[in-house]
Amino acid sequence: MSEEWVEVGSLSDIPKLGARVVNAPDGDIAVFRTASDDVFALRDECPHKKGPLSQGIVHGDRVSCPLHDWKIMLDSGNAVAPDEGCAASYPIKMDGETIFLSLTPNEGCPNKG
Amino acid sequence: MKERLIVIGNGMAGMRTVEEILKLDTEAYDITVFGAEPHGNYNRIMLSPVLAGDKTIDEIMINDEQWYVDNNITLHKGKTVVDINRKARKVIIDDGSEYEYDRLLIATGSTPFIIPLPGHDLEGVIAFRDIHDVDMMIEAAKNHKHAVVIGGGLLGLEAANGLMQQGMKVTVLHLVDTLMERQMDSVAGKMLRKSLEERGMEILMPASTKEIIGTDRVEKVVLEDGREIEANIVVMAVGIRPNIELAAKVGIHCERGIVVNDTMQTFDPRVYSVGECVQHRGETYGLVAPLFEMAKVCANHLAQHGIALYEGSVTSTKLKVTGIDLFSAGDFTGDENTEELVFQDASRGVYRKLVIEDNKVKGAVMYGDTIDGSWYFDLMREETDIGDFREKILFGQAHLGDSGHGDENRIEMMSDSTEICGCNGISKGDIVNSININKLLTLDEVRAHTKASSSCGSCTGLVESILAHTVGGDYSVAPHLKPMCGCTEHTHDEARKAIKDHELKSVRAALDFLEWNTPDGCGKCRPALNYYVMCQYPDAESDDSQSRFINERAHANIQKDATYSVIPRMWGGGTTPTELRAIADAADKYKIKTVHVTGGQRIGLYGLTKQELPEIWDDLNKAGLVSGHAYGKALRTVKTCVGKEWCRFGTQDSTQLGVDLEKMTWGSWTPHKYKMAASGCPRNCAEATIKDFGVVCVDSGYELHVGGNGGIKVRVTDLLTTVKTSEEVLEYGAAFMQIYREEAHYLERTAPWIERVGLAYVKEHIVDDDDNRKALAERFHFSQSFAQDDPWEARAKGAEKHEFEAMKNINA
C-alpha cells in the first residue's frame, strides 16, 4: 500500500453529528463525526446535484444532503435506495484523537470529483 | 440463537407485518411462513381488475419467491397448519411435521360465506376470493354465456363487472332494494343501478334465491318468487367470515374473529394476530388500509419496540369498476343529532351527501364525481370544524381559494405527460409506471421512488389520488395520526406533549425518552424536536445547532452552487443612505454578482462563500445592519406602506406600526417562516391579507388578519378581529404568534394550521379570552428576552468558528 496519510486535525475539531471541510488539491473533502465518534471522509459532493454534503444533517451512519435531501451512507458514499449514485469515500486512520486522511479514494465509486 | 417467528397465512396482512418487522430489525427473528395457496403473496384487492382484464396476475404479485429468499424467510407453500400445541409452542402441519416457535402470528384471513342453498355444491358455484376463483371465472367465460352473481355488495358488483368484461351476460341478485347498502344511501344506490344497467348488467332486487339447479354443473337459479334464471356459473359474494377455526380449536379466545388487544396480541401473549381474521374492539375489517395499520403496530411489538397502539380504523370505500366513481366513508345515514348537506345534479349524474354533526363531517356518500372524496375523508378523520366554509363545502376543495390545482384534479382524464410534481418534473405517467413496476402501495413509497410530492408537498393530494386511482380505492391511506417520520411512531403532538410533561430539555433527552427507532433521528425529525424543545424552554440554552438545517446553522441561505446569500434586516422596509452605502460598499468589496431586492422589502446579496460570511457581517454590523433571518423558520419581514405620513389615503401610521411589530418579534423562531405586513388603508398596498399576521388600518382602528400566505397555495387571511389602538395590535400580534409557536407542527405554516384547528379555535383563545391572550403575549415576551441577539454580531466576533472555516487546507 502506498497510502499517504495526511494529518487533518483532531476529533474535537468536528462537532458530534457534524462535519468539517478539508480543502484538497482535487476538491473539498468532507470529514464527518458520528454520535459514536466514528469518523468518515467523503468527496464533498452529492452524486445528485453536487450539494455540499459537509453542510448536511448527520444522523446514524448517514448524512442528508442539504440541497434535495438525498441520504448518503457515510462509510461507502453510496446513496440510500431507491436513489442511486455515490460520492467517493476516503480512508481515515485515527491515532488517539488525531485524524489522518488518505487522499487516495477507496475503490468502487467513480465520482472522485 | 435467534427467536423463531412462525407466520400462519401468506397473505397481505401477514407479509406486511413481516415487512414492517424487517424494516425495524432484520435480525429479530428466524421467520417461517405457512401459506395454503400455491403462490407468493399477491394483492388481493386487485383481483377485480385481473378479472376485468385490466391487469395480469404478475402485475399484482407483491412478494415473489425471490423476496422470501432474499430476506432469509422460509416459505412453505401449499402447506396447511392443522393444529397448534401452545404449551410446547409448536405448530403441526397437515403432513404431520412439527415446527417450534417463540412467537406465533396468525394471519389466516377470511373465507367467503357460502349460503347453504340446495345446489350450492354443484360445479360452477364459486366465491370470489382468490386467484383460483378468478381462473374459474375466466375459464367459464370462454365456454359459457350466462352468469349469476348472488350479492349486490362491493365484491359482487366487481365480480359482475369483471364477468361482463369477459363477455358474459350477467344477472345480479340482491336481497334488499339498494345496491351496496352498507356503503350507499338509496339515492346513490339508484344512480349506481342505472349506470350498471346501462352497461348491460341485469339487476334483480329484492331477490331471494331459493335453490340452484343442475345435474353436474349448475344450469339455473330459482328465486323464492318462482322466477328462474339461466346460469352456467354462479358467484356467491354475500360476505366474508374471519377464519378462526384453528385459533378457536386451540383455545385462543375468539368471538366473531380472533380477539386481539391494541397491540394485536391475542389472549395468549406469545400469539399475535392481524388482518381479516381478527376482531379488535368489537370490529372486524375487510379492507386493506386497516390491515396495514394493524401490521405496523404488530411489527412494532414483535420487534420489541413496544410503543405503538392500534386504535381502530376509519375506512372509506371506492368501487373498482372503470368509469363508475363512487365513494363512501363513515356514517352516511345519520340520526336525530345529525344534519345532511346534499348536492344532486341528476342529468350530470352527480350526487354528494355529507352527514354533519356539530359542524364536523361524520360521513360522506358521493357518486359521479368523487374527486373530493379524500378531502372529505381527511376532514372527517381530523374532525375539522367546517363552520367557516360550510356553505361552500359541497362544491369541493377547488372552491376554497386553493388555487393550486383545482380543476386539474381529474386523474382519469389527465394525459400521461401531465406534470404532477412541478418541483421535480414528475409526470402522471412516471408515477403510474413506478406504482405498477415497483408495486407501491403508500404515499411514502411513491415519494421515495419518484420524488413526486417530496419537495414542496403541494401536489401531495394529487399524488394520493393517482395512487388511489392506480391501485384501487382502498389503497393504504396515510393513517389518521401520522408519525413524525420513519424514525418513530410518535406524532408531532405526542412528542411535543412528552417534551413538556417530562421536562425534556434537549434533543437527546427527547430521543431517549421517546425511544426513537434510529440512534439519532434524521434530517426531518431532529430539527422538529429541536424547535419543540427550544419553544418550550427558551431559557434553557437548549438549542442544538447540529439539529438545525444548514441555513439556520450558518445564518445564511444555502444556494444551488453551495454559496450563500446575505440579507440584512430593514425595519418595516425602511432604510437610510448610510445603510445603503454600507451595502453598496460590501457588494463591491466581496464582488457580489447579484444584488436583488427581495419580496420582503429588503436587499439581498448573493454568491458569498461560507468563509466570507463572518467578514461581511462584521462590515454590515458596523453600519448598524443586523441579520434579517431570511434563512430561518423565524420572523422574516414586516412589509409596510408609507401610511398616513405621506399617502393621501392613509388612515394610520402603518410604517411605524410595522417597525414596532418587527422590533417586537425579530429573532423569534417559529414552526415555519412567518411574515407580517401593515397597510395604511383598505387599499392594502402592503398586501397584508396574504401574510401570517396582517394589519389593515382603517379610520376607526386596525383590522387584524391571520393565516394568509402567498407561496405554493395562495391563501387569503381570515379576519381575526378589529382593535382600536396600536398597543392592542402589538398584544394581539404577540399572542397570535405565540399560540402558533406553541401549537402548530414544525414546518406547518399558519395557513394550514388554521385550516386544521379552525378559525373559531383561534378566536376563542385570542379574542374571547382576555386573560389567555395576555398570558400568551407574556410567554412570547419571555421567550424573546433570550432570542433577541443578533447572530451575525456574535459570529463576526468569532463565535462558532468551526462552522465557517475549513478544518485543514492541504492544497500544496
Interfacial residues of B (vs A; Cβ cutoff 8 Å) = 438, 448-449, 454-455, 518-523, 526-527, 545-547, 549-550, 554, 558, 560, 562, 802, 806-812
- Using the Cβ of A13 and the Cβ atoms of chain B, whether some distance falls under 8 Å is answered with yes
- Within 8 A of A9 by CB-CB distance, chain B residues are 807-808
Residues B393 and B415 in one domain: no
Give me the number of domains chain A comprises: 1
Question: Domain containing B385 — which CATH number?
Answer: 3.30.390.30
Q: What is the pLDDT of residues B126-165, one digit of tens each?
A: 998 888 899 999 999 999 999 999 999 888 998 999 999 8
Higher pLDDT, B196 or B61: B196
Question: Domain containing B593 — which CATH number?
Answer: 3.90.480.10
Q: How far is B189 from chain A (nearest CA, A)?
A: 44
- Using the Cβ of A16 and the Cβ atoms of chain B, whether some distance falls under 8 Å is answered with yes
Question: How far is the C-alpha of B634 from the C-alpha of B667, rounded, in Å?
Answer: 7
* Residue pair B239/B286 in contact by the 8 Å Cβ criterion: no
Residues B754 and B685 in one domain: yes
Question: How far is the C-alpha of B159 from the C-alpha of B226, rounded, in Å?
Answer: 25
pLDDT for the residue A3: 62
Higher pLDDT, B387 or B512: B512
Domain containing B519 equals 492-548
- Within 8 A of B449 by CB-CB distance, chain A residues are 82
Task: State the DSSP string of B667-731.
Answer: T-B-SS-EEEEEESSTT-TT-GGGSSEEEEEETTEEEEEES-B-SSS-BPPEEEEEESSHHHHHH
Higher pLDDT, B401 or B737: B737
Q: Which residue of A has its CA nearest to B548?
A: A57
Residues B173 and B277 in one domain: no
* Residue pair B738/B777 in contact by the 8 Å Cβ criterion: yes
In a domain, A113, yes or no: no
- Within 8 A of B454 by CB-CB distance, chain A residues are 69
- Count other Cβ atoms within 10 Å, centred on residue B597: 9
- Within 8 A of A17 by CB-CB distance, chain B residues are 520, 546-547
Out of B454, B522, B806, name the one closest to residue A59 (CB): B522
Contact B810 A82 (CB under 8 A): no
In a domain, B608, yes or no: yes
* Residue pair A101/A90 in contact by the 8 Å Cβ criterion: yes
- Using the Cβ of A69 and the Cβ atoms of chain B, whether some distance falls under 8 Å is answered with yes
In a domain, A22, yes or no: yes
Among the ranges given (A42-46, B21-25, B394-398, B684-688), the one the predictor scored with the smallest mean pLDDT: B394-398
Q: What is the pLDDT of residues B744-757, one digit of tens each?
A: 999 999 998 998 88
The model's pTM: 0.66
The pLDDT-based confidence of B408 (bands split at 50, 70, 90) is very low
Residues B667 and B756 in one domain: yes
Question: Domain containing B193 — which CATH number?
Answer: 3.50.50.60
Residues B610 and B748 in one domain: no
Q: What value does the mean pLDDT take over residues B390-408? A: 61
Contact B802 A14 (CB under 8 A): yes
Q: Which residue of A has its CA nearest to B444?
A: A82
Higher pLDDT, B414 or B332: B332
* Residue pair B119/B228 in contact by the 8 Å Cβ criterion: no
Q: What value does the mean pLDDT take over residues B617-622? A: 96
Q: What value does the mean pLDDT take over residues B65-78? A: 90
CA distances from A76 to A71, A108, B108 (A): 12, 9, 42
- Within 8 A of B519 by CB-CB distance, chain A residues are 35-36, 59-60
- Within 8 A of A98 by CB-CB distance, chain B residues are none
- Using the Cβ of A6 and the Cβ atoms of chain B, whether some distance falls under 8 Å is answered with yes
Domain containing A35 equals 5-102
Sequence-distant (6+) residues with CB within 8 A of B337 are B357
Work out whether the CA dihedral B440, B444, B448, B450 comes out positive or negative.
Answer: positive
- Using the Cβ of A21 and the Cβ atoms of chain B, whether some distance falls under 8 Å is answered with yes
Suggest the residue from A6, A7, A12, A17 to mutate for an interface test with chain B (most B CBs closer than 10 A): A17
Contact A59 B550 (CB under 8 A): no
In a domain, A10, yes or no: yes
Among the ranges given (A51-55, B330-334, B668-672, B686-690), the one the predictor scored with the smallest mean pLDDT: B330-334
In a domain, A95, yes or no: yes
CA distances from A27 to A42, A113, B254 (A): 11, 7, 67
Contact B806 A21 (CB under 8 A): yes
Suggest the residue from B560, B807, B809, B811 to mutate for an interface test with chain A (most A CBs closer than 10 A): B807
Mean pLDDT of chain B: 89
Q: What is the ipTM of this complex?
A: 0.93
Q: Phi first, then psi: what are they for B705, rounded to 5°?
A: -115, 140
pLDDT of B462 higher than 90: no
Q: What value does the mean pLDDT take over residues B54-80? A: 86
Higher pLDDT, B315 or B788: B788
The pLDDT-based confidence of B38 (bands split at 50, 70, 90) is confident
In a domain, A107, yes or no: no
Per the structure block, which three cell numbers stand in for B663?
Answer: 422590533
Among B417, B439, B471, the domain-final residue is: B471
pLDDT for the residue B481: 63
Among B238, B256, B274, the domain-final residue is: B238
Per the structure block, which three cell numbers stand in for B654?
Answer: 402603518
Question: Residue B669 class from Cβ within 10 Å (0-12 exposed, 13-18 middle, 19+ buried)?
Answer: buried
Contact B546 A18 (CB under 8 A): yes
In a domain, B120, yes or no: no
Classify B768 as helix, strand or coil.
coil
Q: How far is A96 from chain B (nearest CA, A)?
A: 18
- Within 8 A of B549 by CB-CB distance, chain A residues are 57, 66
- Within 8 A of A27 by CB-CB distance, chain B residues are none
Question: How far is the C-alpha of B595 from the C-alpha of B606, rounded, in Å?
Answer: 7
pLDDT of B424 higher than 90: no
State the residue for C-alpha cell 468536528. Answer: A14
* Residue pair B473/B316 in contact by the 8 Å Cβ criterion: yes
pLDDT for the residue B2: 87
- Within 8 A of A82 by CB-CB distance, chain B residues are 438, 448-449
Higher pLDDT, B472 or B477: B472
Q: Which residue of B has its CA nearest to A34?
A: B520
How many alpha carbons lie under 13 Å from residue B114 in its C-beta half-sphere? Answer: 16
Residues B776 and B666 in one domain: yes
- Using the Cβ of A85 and the Cβ atoms of chain B, whether some distance falls under 8 Å is answered with no
Classify B43 as helix, strand or coil.
coil
Out of A13, A23, A58, name the one closest to residue B809 (CB): A23
pLDDT for the residue A112: 54
Q: Which residue of A has its CA nearest to B456?
A: A68
Strand pairing class (A62-64; A71-73): antiparallel
pLDDT of B73 higher than 80: yes
Higher pLDDT, B344 or B107: B107
pLDDT of B787 higher than 50: yes
In a domain, B23, yes or no: yes
Question: How far is the C-alpha of B210 from the C-alpha of B622, rounded, in Å?
Answer: 95
Residues B27 and B176 in one domain: no
Question: How far is the C-alpha of B765 from the C-alpha of B772, rounded, in Å?
Answer: 6
Q: What is the pLDDT of residues B165-202, one digit of tens each?
A: 899 999 999 999 999 988 888 889 999 999 899 989 99
Angle (CA) B266 B268 B270, round 5°:
95
What percentage of chain B exceeds 70 in pLDDT? 96
Question: Domain containing B647 — which CATH number?
Answer: 3.30.413.10
In a domain, B700, yes or no: yes
Sequence-distant (6+) residues with CB within 8 A of B358 are none
Contact B520 A35 (CB under 8 A): yes
Contact B522 A35 (CB under 8 A): no
pLDDT for the residue A52: 96
In a domain, A109, yes or no: no
Residues B260 and B234 in one domain: no
Higher pLDDT, B803 or B373: B803
In a domain, A112, yes or no: no
Q: How far is A109 from chain B (nearest CA, A)?
A: 22
Suggest the residue from A10, A59, A83, A103 to mutate for an interface test with chain B (most B CBs closer than 10 A): A59
Size of interface A-B (CB pairs under 8 A): 90
Q: What value does the mean pLDDT take over residues B528-545? A: 93
Per the structure block, which three cell numbers stand in for B276?
Answer: 381479516
Per the structure block, which three cell numbers stand in for B363?
Answer: 360521513
Q: How far is B659 from chain A (nearest CA, A)?
A: 33
Q: What value does the mean pLDDT take over residues B713-736? A: 94
- Within 8 A of A84 by CB-CB distance, chain B residues are none
Question: Domain containing A88 — which CATH number?
Answer: 2.102.10.10
Residues in chain A with pLDDT < 70? 1-3, 111-113
Q: In what order do the strands lie in the sheet with A18-23?
A: A89-90, A39-43, A29-33, A18-23, B808-809
pLDDT for the residue B475: 54
The pLDDT-based confidence of B540 (bands split at 50, 70, 90) is confident
In a domain, B484, yes or no: no
pLDDT for the residue B118: 93
- Within 8 A of B550 by CB-CB distance, chain A residues are 55-57, 66
Contact A25 B811 (CB under 8 A): yes
Q: What value does the mean pLDDT take over residues B543-554? A: 94
pLDDT of B228 higher than 70: yes
- Using the Cβ of A64 and the Cβ atoms of chain B, whether some distance falls under 8 Å is answered with yes
Suggest the residue from A4, A38, A57 to mutate for an interface test with chain B (most B CBs closer than 10 A): A57
Contact A67 B547 (CB under 8 A): no
Residues B360 and B451 in one domain: no
* Residue pair B493/B528 in contact by the 8 Å Cβ criterion: no
- Using the Cβ of A68 and the Cβ atoms of chain B, whether some distance falls under 8 Å is answered with yes
pLDDT for the residue A2: 46
In a domain, B313, yes or no: no
Residues B714 and B568 in one domain: no
Give me the number of domains chain B comprises: 7
The pLDDT-based confidence of B465 (bands split at 50, 70, 90) is confident
Buried residues in B426-442 as b, exposed as e (16+ CB within 10 A): bbbebbbebbeeebbbb
Residues B140 and B214 in one domain: yes
Residues B269 and B188 in one domain: no
Question: How far is the C-alpha of B762 from the C-alpha of B781, rounded, in Å?
Answer: 19
Q: In what order do the strands lie in the sheet with A98-102?
A: A5-10, A98-102, A92-95
pLDDT of B403 higher than 50: no
In a domain, A70, yes or no: yes
Q: How far is B451 from chain A (nearest CA, A)?
A: 10
Higher pLDDT, B69 or B711: B69
